């Protein structure tokens, strides 16, 4: 056999291999870009939201595959923890693919689906072809959050929307009151693992029943458009309609939403040689706990007190007034701290913190602040329920010269992940301010 024939055979083999294992290609008619050709404004809003960017979210990919931004395995994530299982991670992140593959008896690997773009993520077509969304719990109160149990799709793929007289040249439509119900969102914003690790819908349902919020998810996260607009901007022979909502889905990544969520009060008071700082934090703007979702999110109340020369006052209060290690302890290799390592400083962490099982390699210590998939027990839950104020107290030693010129600063910041976790995964820690108060004595 000549070298040329061998090469030819090798090439043919590769072509054969490609034919044997075709990669999954999503239907181009379900591509949000296809919908966006007519629904231009809605497409732009959705595409700049977290749900629109979901399929590209590197944090999700890395936490599933246990890799870091450099593509190296770091052992931190779902697949290393489960020795490569697929689990249910794909359900809410690539929902149409999961339902399609489930119907064929296949499981979906979220990492592969994201890398090969086998799905459009939380797409227009997915939300608008849901015919029925039902959130069930068993006798023990545990939710069934598998997507193929909670969602029934329209068998003909008819587009469901809020308007009864909508007419589209591209697709049949049907008016569906379920579009305006929280259950449409709840099927994904609720994750029953060993614990209810994402509890947003359950939190909302309780708050709504108790009258602590009178709004649905859509009413807060899809702002009302206050003028008549076309449903499809590229099709101009249809009437402009009132009462439509923007597909912006702003949440914890939207500074304006974050500023609406919490009220922060802070009162410093002189008590002999000590300065007592009292704080109240109340969730006045969110219809669920804050932080509201997965167990790696956290909100930190940080208190700083300075003398007239800007020197920090020594903290002399109880240990419960100091931030836990999850607020950041510095580089584990050299102990060096950066400006965002706040463990041991005055403040309070609002978060839902889980611990793993004892890990033999770590001398049977438990990892603290783990994702829901690794949660074995709850360490603490200080998340802020709607309309339930939380008070805290911090005590400092006043300078010999007294309280004059002393400044106290309180601020609330939102962190996407615990600082030690972001450090270990080489994630750039996203930290956004929610509220702040400064008082001078
Ligand atoms: C029942 C639905 C559901 C399942 C199952 C699910 N997720 Fe998620 N996931 C969500 C939702 C909803 C969010 C958004 C929460 C937010 O940002 O407020 C999210 C957010 C995340 C984030 C944070 C992304 C960021 O940018 O900070 C990561 C990481 C993640 N998921 C990984 C996983 C992994 C790994 C699994 C499997 C163990 C999984 N998810 C299973 C619904 C789900
Ligand atoms: C060729 C243009 C075109 C394309 C492509 C298109 N639509 Fe439409 N769509 C329309 C028009 C026109 C209407 C109705 C406008 C009206 O009656 O006010 C409409 C209405 C809708 C409605 C409202 C239905 C109701 O009953 O309230 C939804 C939801 C919708 N489209 C979603 C989609 C989705 C999802 C896709 C992609 C899978 C898509 N559209 C693709 C033109 C289009
Ligand atoms: C198919 C599952 C699914 C459905 C249905 C769904 N979501 Fe989401 N949502 C997600 C996931 C997953 C994310 C996180 C995406 C990411 O960051 O990669 C998310 C993110 C969000 C965020 C952004 C949070 C942040 O931290 O910025 C908001 C707000 C949100 N969803 C609101 C809604 C609302 C309102 C509805 C109902 C109209 C809804 N979602 C329906 C899965 C879903
Ligand atoms: C997370 C689920 C979700 C996704 C993703 C989504 N929508 Fe919607 N859409 C809704 C909901 C809920 C409403 C109803 C809002 C209301 O109460 O009027 C709606 C309403 C609409 C309407 C009617 C106008 C209105 O405001 O009532 C159109 C048209 C539409 N969507 C098109 C799209 C297109 C196009 C995309 C993708 C670019 C998309 N949607 C993505 C949930 C979604
Ligand atoms: C009364 C208004 C209101 C209602 C009702 C509401 N939200 Fe929110 N939501 C907010 C505000 C404000 C924030 C920003 C604060 C924050 O991130 O916790 C937020 C944040 C979020 C986030 C970001 C995650 C996080 O850390 O909090 C998600 C996801 C979300 N909401 C989903 C939902 C879903 C799903 C529902 C319905 C089951 C819902 N919201 C109902 C106001 C609301």
Atom of ligand 5 nearest to the CA of 188: 35
CA 121 to centroid of ligand 2, rounded, Å: 19
Q: Under a CB-based contact definition with an 8 Å cutoff, are residues 121 and 179 in contact? A: no
pLDDT value of position 155: 96
Q: Which of 166, 240, 244 to mutate to test the pocket of ligand 2 (most atoms within 8 A of CB)?
A: 166
- Give the binding-site residues of ligand 4, using a 6 Å CB cut-off: 32, 35-36, 39, 42-43, 46, 51, 122-124, 127-128, 161-162, 179-180, 184, 218, 222, 231, 244-245, 247
Residues whose CB is less than 8 angstroms from the CB of residue 332 and which lie 6 or more positions away in sequence, other chains included: 420, 423, 424
- 10 Å CB burial of residue 209 (0-12, 13-18, 19+) is exposed
Average pLDDT of the segment spanning 313-318? 96
Q: Scan for tokens 């030693």, then name that residue.
A: 397
Q: Which residues line ligand 2 (CB under 6 A)?
A: 30, 34-35, 37-39, 124-125, 128, 159, 161-163, 166-171, 173, 175, 231-232, 235, 238, 241
Closest CA relative to residue 431, chosen from 411, 413, 412: 413
CA 215 to chain centroid, in Å, comes to 20
State residue 21's pLDDT score: 52
Residues 308-341 as b/e (b if ≥16 CB within 10 A, e otherwise) read eeeeebebebeeebbbbebbbbeeeeeeeeeeeb
pLDDT at 190: 97
Cα 335 to ligand 3 centre (Å) = 37
CB of 293 closer than 6 A to ligand 1?
yes
Judge if the beta carbon of residue 82 lies within 6 A of ligand 1: no
Percent of the chain with pLDDT over 90: 92
User: What is the CB < 6 Å shell around ligand 3?
Assistant: 50-51, 54, 57, 60, 92-93, 95, 122, 126-127, 184-185, 187-189, 217-218, 221, 249, 251-253
Q: What is the mean pLDDT of the chain?
A: 94
CA distance 349 to 413: 10
User: Cα(288) to centroid of ligand 5, in Å?
Assistant: 6
The tokens of 113 are what? 């689906």
Asked if residue 20 has pLDDT above 80, the reply is no
In this structure, which residue's CA is closest to atom 20 in ligand 4? 161
Q: In this structure, how many other beta carbons lie within 10 angstroms of the beta carbon of residue 87?
A: 18
With a cut of 90, say whether residue 2 has pLDDT above it.
no
* Rounded CA separation 85/81 (Å): 9
Tokens 């940080």, residue located: 302
C-alpha 299 – ligand 5 centre gap (Å): 14
Q: What is the pLDDT of residues 62-91, one digit of tens each?
A: 999 999 999 999 999 999 999 999 999 999
Q: Please report the pLDDT score of residue 14 as a whole number.
A: 46
The residue to mutate among 294, 369, 373, 419, having the most atoms of ligand 1 within 8 angstroms of its beta carbon, is 294
CA-to-CA separations, 73 to 65, 153, 371, in angstroms, rounded: 8, 37, 17
Query: How many whole angstroms from 189 Cα to the centroid of ligand 5?
Result: 10
pLDDT value, residue 293: 78
Q: What is the mean pLDDT of residues 384-395?
A: 98
pLDDT of 165 strictly over 90 = yes
User: Looking at the CA of 57, which ligand is closest?
Assistant: 3
Give the nearest ligand 5 atom to 215 CA. 5
The average pLDDT across 361-373 equals: 95
């Amino acid at each position: 056999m000549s070298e040329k024939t061998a090469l030819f055979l090798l090439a043919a083999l590769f072509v054969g291999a490609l034919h044997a294992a075709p990669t999954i290609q999503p239907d181009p008619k379900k591509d949000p870009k296809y919908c966006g050709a007519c629904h231009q404004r809605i497409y732009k809003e959705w595409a700049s939201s977290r749900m629109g960017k979901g399929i590209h979210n590197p944090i999700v990919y890395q936490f599933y595959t246990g890799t870091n931004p450099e593509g190296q395995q770091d052992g931190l994530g779902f697949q290393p923890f489960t020795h490569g299982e697929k689990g249910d991670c794909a359900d809410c992140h690539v929902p149409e693919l999961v339902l399609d593959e489930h119907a064929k008896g296949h499981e979906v690997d979220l990492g592969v689906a994201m890398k090969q773009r086998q799905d459009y993520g939380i797409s227009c077509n997915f939300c608008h072809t849901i015919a029925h969304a039902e959130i069930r719990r068993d006798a023990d109160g545990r939710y069934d959050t598998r997507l193929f149990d909670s969602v029934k799709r329209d068998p003909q793929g008819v587009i469901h929307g809020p308007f009864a007289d909508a007419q589209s040249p591209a697709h049949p439509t049907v008016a569906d009151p379920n579009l305006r119900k929280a259950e449409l969102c709840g099927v994904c914003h609720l994750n029953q693992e060993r614990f209810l690790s994402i509890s947003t819908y359950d939190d909302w349902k309780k708050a709504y029943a108790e009258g602590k919020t009178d709004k649905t998810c859509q009413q807060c996260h899809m702002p009302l458009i206050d003028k008549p607009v076309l449903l499809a901007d590229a099709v101009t022979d249809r009437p402009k309609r009132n009462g439509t909502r923007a597909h912006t889905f702003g949440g914890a990544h939207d500074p304006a939403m974050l500023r609406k969520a919490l009220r922060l009060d802070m009162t410093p008071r002189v008590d002999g040689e000590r300065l007592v700082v009292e704080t109240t934090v109340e969730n006045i703007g969110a219809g669920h706990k804050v932080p509201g979702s997965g167990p790696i999110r956290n909100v930190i109340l940080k208190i700083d007190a300075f003398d007239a020369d800007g020197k920090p006052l020594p903290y002399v209060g109880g240990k419960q007034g100091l931030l836990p290690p999850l607020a950041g302890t510095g580089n584990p290799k050299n102990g060096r701290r950066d400006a965002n390592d706040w463990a041991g400083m005055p403040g309070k962490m609002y978060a839902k913190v889980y611990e793993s099982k004892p890990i033999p390699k770590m001398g049977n210590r438990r990892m603290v602040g783990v994702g829901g998939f690794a949660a074995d027990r709850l360490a603490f839950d200080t998340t802020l329920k709607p309309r339930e104020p939380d008070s805290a107290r911090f005590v400092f030693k006043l300078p010999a010269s007294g309280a004059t010129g002393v400044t106290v600063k309180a601020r609330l910041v939102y962190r996407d992940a615990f600082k030690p976790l972001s450090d270990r995964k080489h994630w750039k820690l996203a930290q956004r301010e929610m509220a702040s108060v400064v008082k001078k004595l």
